[in-house]
Amino acid sequence: TAKFTSALAIPVEFVEKNVKLRGEFHRVTAKGLEIEHVPISIPFITSIQRKWQPRGLLLVRLAGVELAPSGVAWLQQELKPKQLIWFQLLGREDLALECLVLVNKGRFLSVCLNEELLRRGLGRTARIEGLHHDSHLYWKLHKRLLRAELKALKKNKGIWKEASYSERIRDRISNNKFVQTLKQFASWLRSS
């Protein structure tokens, strides 16, 4: 029932046991997601506790994902302020939490944002900070993330999108040294 207002306030046991916490999304920053922890509520006790609970936001990073700029823009569009989300603790580094972030989509369906971003080609798979490299959980999650990234690669989505044949030809022509010299000569003639 305690409300966590900083990453250091979360007990080490919670991180080691990969506990899922609930929170209210506030905004996307360059460093990660800012989320206000929403503790478990017990009807009468919660109303009394709420008066003395401090306010503060947790910095949550998407574990195993290196976001592209288009991924940040997609998150800003997809997540709404005050939206309830779940985040599973995987590690803690300084003042940030490495987490799997889950968003409810309907009554019984939830989507893992880490996988969804990779599936859309809006980032690359990275090392999952906070988990031991030789643990079973690390490899299970890493395999899931790599599969999601492979789907984007096969479908040419996001950062994996290849240029069309005509775009590649146009780039080759414009980057040709002879064409660049002709352009410089033409601009010199116009200026003379």
For the domain that residue 82 is a member of, what is the CATH number? 2.40.50.90
pLDDT at 45: 56
Report pLDDT for 116: 94
Q: Answer yes or no: is 186 within a domain.
A: no
**Residue 121: per-residue pLDDT:** 93
For residue 165, being part of any structural domain is answered with no
**Per-residue pLDDT tens listing for the chain (192 residues):** 678 888 888 889 998 898 999 999 999 998 899 999 888 766 655 555 555 566 788 999 999 999 999 999 999 999 999 999 999 999 988 789 999 999 988 778 889 999 999 999 999 999 888 788 888 989 999 999 999 999 999 998 888 887 677 877 887 888 888 888 888 888 888 887
CA distances from 49 to 3, 20, 82, 154 (A): 9, 21, 20, 51
Per-residue pLDDT at 6: 82
In a domain, 169, yes or no: no
Q: Are strands 96-104 and 58-62 parallel, antiparallel or unpaired?
A: parallel
28 belongs to a structural domain: yes
Asked if residue 33 belongs to a domain, the reply is: yes
- Asked if the structure places residue 22 within a domain, the reply is yes
Work out whether strand 84-93 and strand 20-28 pair parallel, antiparallel, or are unpaired.
antiparallel
**Three-state secondary structure call for residue 30:** coil
pTM of the model: 0.74
Q: Is residue 58 part of a domain?
A: yes
Identify the domain containing residue 145 by its residue range.
7-157
What pLDDT, on the 0 to 100 scale, is given for residue 50? Answer: 57
Query: Residue 179 has what pLDDT?
Result: 83
Total domains present in the chain = 1
Q: Are 65 and 28 in contact (CB under 8 A)?
A: no
Q: Which of 123, 9, 16 is nearest to 63 (CA)?
A: 123
Q: Does residue 21 belong to any structural domain of this protein?
A: yes
pLDDT value for 158: 84
